[in-house]
Structure 1
Amino acid sequence: MNINVEVKETERYFHVYVEGEVDVYTAPKLHDRLLPLTKDPNSNIVIDLSGVTYLDSVGLGVFVNILNKVNSQDGTLKIVGLSKRLHKLFSITGIVDIMNVK
């Protein structure tokens, strides 16, 4: 179970690139990398999941938690690069209704 999380900061956004599997074992690492990005008011975070090969419910929970943190600071969160399989997972769980998913 491996995960790689790379964060690049620009003037307007934090761009987060995630590769590997996001599951019960790796989700805490992802959460620990994302949480500091939510501390500043008006943080704008774009998470690219094009390199994610597997995502379970614990991983989905990380994104919902981060969304709540970002919203409480008047920031934005956008999830991009979803494979068809991941987009279906976000859809059937209803996350696409509460989160900006592309």
Structure 2
Amino acid sequence: MYKIEITTKHNKIGMLRDAYFKEGITGMTIINVSGQGNQKGKVEIYRGSQITANLMPRIRVEIIAKEEDVERIKDIALKTLASGQVGDGKIVILPVADVIRIRTGQSGYEAI
């Protein structure tokens, strides 16, 4: 099993969810996050003073998947989110040792 973490802009979450639902991928966790990367932050005016917001608000989608589904999940995200602009986001793919459903004690992919 693998965990796919997709971090992108808030305004793209609807498109990504729709693309996944269309392909039958419905199990995901969506989290509000903040981060700093190549975008460097943006300059804003707050109470008459110029400030730089270094942490940019983002959304993270986490999906646990079987190995054979990882490429398809990654490709859907790339096709849906890529605009060629800084800030499109990142995809991180991590191995998962186990998943346990607390209610039943079930483990492995069946626990998802």
User: Which structure would you say has the larger RCO, counting Cα contacts within 8 Å and 6 or more residues apart?
Assistant: 2
Q: Which has the higher helix share?
A: 1
Greater C-alpha Rg: 2
TM-score by length of 2: 0.29
